[in-house]
Chain A
Amino acid sequence: MTLTAPLLRALEGIVGPAGLVVSHEGLLTYECDMHTFYKGAPDAVVLPGSAQQVAAVVRLCRRERVPIVPRGSGTGLIGGAMAPAGGVMVSMTRMNRILELDFPNRCATVEPGLINLWLSQATRERGYFFAPDPSSQMVSSIGGNASTNAGGPHCLKYGITVNHVLGLEVVTGAGELVRLGGKIHERPGYDLTGVMVGAEGTLGLVTAVTVRLTHVPEGVKTILASFPTIEDASETVSAIIRAGIIPAALEMLDEVVIRAIEEGVGAGYPKGAGAVLLIELDGPAAEIEAQAAPIEAICRDHLALEIRVAKSEAERALLWKGRKEAAGVFGRLTPNWLLQDAVVPRSKLPQIMKELLAIGVRHRLVIANVFHAGDGNLHPLICYDDRVPGELERAKQANEELLSACLRLGGSVTGEHGVGLDKSGSLPMQFADADLNFMARLRRAFDPDGIMNPGKLLPSHPACGEGFRPIARPLPAGTWI
Chain B
Amino acid sequence: MSQAAPGRVGSFEARDAPSMDGLRACVHCGICLPQCPTYRVLGEEMDSPRGRIYLMRAAAEGRLDLTPTLAHHLDLCLGCRACETACPSGVPFGQLLEATRGQLERRGVSAPGRDRSTLRFLLDLFPYPGRFGPMLHALRLYQLSGMQAIVRGFGLLAPFRKLQAMEALLPRVPLPAADLPEVIPARGRRHGRAGLLLGCVQRFFYPDVNADTARLLSASGWEVVVPRGQECCGALHLHAGQLDGFRAMARRLMPAFRDVDLVVVNAAGCGSALKEYGHWLADEESRAFSERVRDVSEVLADADLPLGPLRETVTYHDACHLAHGQRVRAQPRALLRRIPGLTLVELADAELCCGSAGVYNLLEPQMASELGRLKVARIRETGARTVVAANPGCLMQIRQHCRAAGLSVDVAHPVTLLARALEAR
Q: Do chains A and B touch in the complex (CB under 8 A)?
A: yes
Nearest residue, chain A, Cβ from B89: A476
From B65-73, B203-211, B353-361, B398-406, give the one contacting chain A: B65-73
B322 in contact (CB, < 8 A): no
> How far is B43's CA from A23's CA once the two chains are assembled, in angstroms?
16
A36 in contact (CB, < 8 A): yes
| The one of A26, A93, A139, A325 that contacts B31, using a Cβ cutoff of 8 Å | A139
A25 touches B89 (CB 8 A): no
Known: A23-B69, A25-B73, A115-B34. A74 touches B45 (CB 8 A): yes
> How far is B29's CA from A33's CA once the two chains are assembled, in angstroms?
8
Chain A, 462-481, CB within 8 A of any chain B CB: 473-479
From B5-13, B50-58, B175-183, B291-299, give the one contacting chain A: B50-58
CB distance from B237 to the nearest CB of A (A): 26
CB distance from A228 to the nearest CB of B (A): 30
A28 touches B58 (CB 8 A): yes
A325 touches B46 (CB 8 A): no
CB distance from A422 to the nearest CB of B (A): 15
CB distance from B92 to the nearest CB of A (A): 14
Known: A25-B64, A115-B34. A47 touches B44 (CB 8 A): yes
B51 proximity list for chain A (CB < 8 A): 29
A28 touches B88 (CB 8 A): no
> How far is B33's CA from A27's CA once the two chains are assembled, in angstroms?
17
A30 in contact (CB, < 8 A): yes
A207 in contact (CB, < 8 A): no
A139 touches B88 (CB 8 A): no
B28 in contact (CB, < 8 A): yes
Interface size on A, residues (CB 8 A): 36
A25 touches B44 (CB 8 A): no
B63 proximity list for chain A (CB < 8 A): 28
> How far is B55's CA from A183's CA once the two chains are assembled, in angstroms?
43
A118 proximity list for chain B (CB < 8 A): 34
Chain A, 287-346, CB within 8 A of any chain B CB: 325, 328
B29 touches A479 (CB 8 A): yes
B33 touches A25 (CB 8 A): no
CB distance from A365 to the nearest CB of B (A): 21
B27 in contact (CB, < 8 A): yes
B29 touches A24 (CB 8 A): no
> How far is B50's CA from A47's CA once the two chains are assembled, in angstroms?
18
> How far is B58's CA from A32's CA once the two chains are assembled, in angstroms?
13
> How far is B54's CA from A316's CA once the two chains are assembled, in angstroms?
35
| The one of A45, A96, A139 that contacts B30, using a Cβ cutoff of 8 Å | A139
CB distance from B60 to the nearest CB of A (A): 13
Known: A29-B51, A34-B29. A476 touches B43 (CB 8 A): no
B262 in contact (CB, < 8 A): no
B87 in contact (CB, < 8 A): yes
A172 in contact (CB, < 8 A): no
> How far is B29's CA from A325's CA once the two chains are assembled, in angstroms?
13
Chain B, 10-35, CB within 8 A of any chain A CB: 27-31, 33-34
Chain B, 216-271, CB within 8 A of any chain A CB: none
B54 touches A28 (CB 8 A): yes
CB distance from A51 to the nearest CB of B (A): 16
CB distance from B374 to the nearest CB of A (A): 14
B45 proximity list for chain A (CB < 8 A): 26, 29-30, 45, 74, 91
A26 touches B30 (CB 8 A): no
A450 in contact (CB, < 8 A): no
CB distance from B341 to the nearest CB of A (A): 27
Interface membership of chain A positions 13-38, coded 1 if the CB is closer than 8 angstroms to chain B and 0 otherwise: 00000000101111011101110100
Interface membership of chain B positions 297-339, coded 1 if the CB is closer than 8 angstroms to chain A and 0 otherwise: 0000000000000000000000000000000000000000000
Known: A47-B44, A74-B45, A115-B34. A25 touches B29 (CB 8 A): no
A138 touches B44 (CB 8 A): no
Residue of B27, B58, B70 with highest tally of chain A CB at under 10 A: B27
Residue of B69, B87, B88 with highest tally of chain A CB at under 10 A: B88
A152 in contact (CB, < 8 A): no
A328 touches B88 (CB 8 A): yes
A120 in contact (CB, < 8 A): no
Known: A73-B33, A75-B29, A476-B87. A25 touches B43 (CB 8 A): no
B27 touches A25 (CB 8 A): no
CB distance from B65 to the nearest CB of A (A): 9
A94 in contact (CB, < 8 A): yes
A113 in contact (CB, < 8 A): yes
B58 proximity list for chain A (CB < 8 A): 28
> How far is B29's CA from A473's CA once the two chains are assembled, in angstroms?
11
Interface membership of chain B positions 83-110, coded 1 if the CB is closer than 8 angstroms to chain A and 0 otherwise: 0000111000000000000000000000
| The one of A36, A139, A474, A476 that contacts B33, using a Cβ cutoff of 8 Å | A139
> How far is B26's CA from A476's CA once the two chains are assembled, in angstroms?
8
CB distance from A381 to the nearest CB of B (A): 14
A479 proximity list for chain B (CB < 8 A): 27, 29, 88
> How far is B70's CA from A335's CA once the two chains are assembled, in angstroms?
31
> How far is B28's CA from A169's CA once the two chains are assembled, in angstroms?
30
> How far is B50's CA from A325's CA once the two chains are assembled, in angstroms?
20
| The one of A21, A30, A93, A475 that contacts B27, using a Cβ cutoff of 8 Å | A475
B30 proximity list for chain A (CB < 8 A): 34, 73-75, 136, 139
Known: A47-B43, A139-B34. A328 touches B89 (CB 8 A): yes
B88 proximity list for chain A (CB < 8 A): 325, 328, 476-479
> How far is B273's CA from A457's CA once the two chains are assembled, in angstroms?
49
Interface membership of chain A positions 386-429, coded 1 if the CB is closer than 8 angstroms to chain B and 0 otherwise: 00000000000000000000000000000000000000000000
In the assembled complex, 30 residue pairs joining A and B whose CB atoms fall closer than 8 Å, in A order, are: A21-B46, A23-B69, A24-B67, A25-B64, A25-B67, A26-B45, A26-B46, A28-B46, A28-B55, A29-B48, A30-B45, A34-B27, A45-B45, A73-B33, A74-B30, A74-B45, A75-B29, A91-B45, A94-B43, A118-B34, A138-B34, A139-B29, A325-B88, A473-B27, A475-B27, A476-B27, A476-B88, A477-B88, A478-B31, A479-B88
- If A34-B28, A325-B88, A474-B89 are given as contacts, then 8 extra A-B residue pairs at C-beta distance below 8 Å, sorted by A number, are A25-B69, A29-B54, A74-B45, A91-B45, A136-B29, A136-B30, A139-B29, A328-B88
Closest 7 CB pairs of A and B: A476-B88, A477-B88, A93-B43, A29-B51, A476-B89, A29-B45, A94-B43
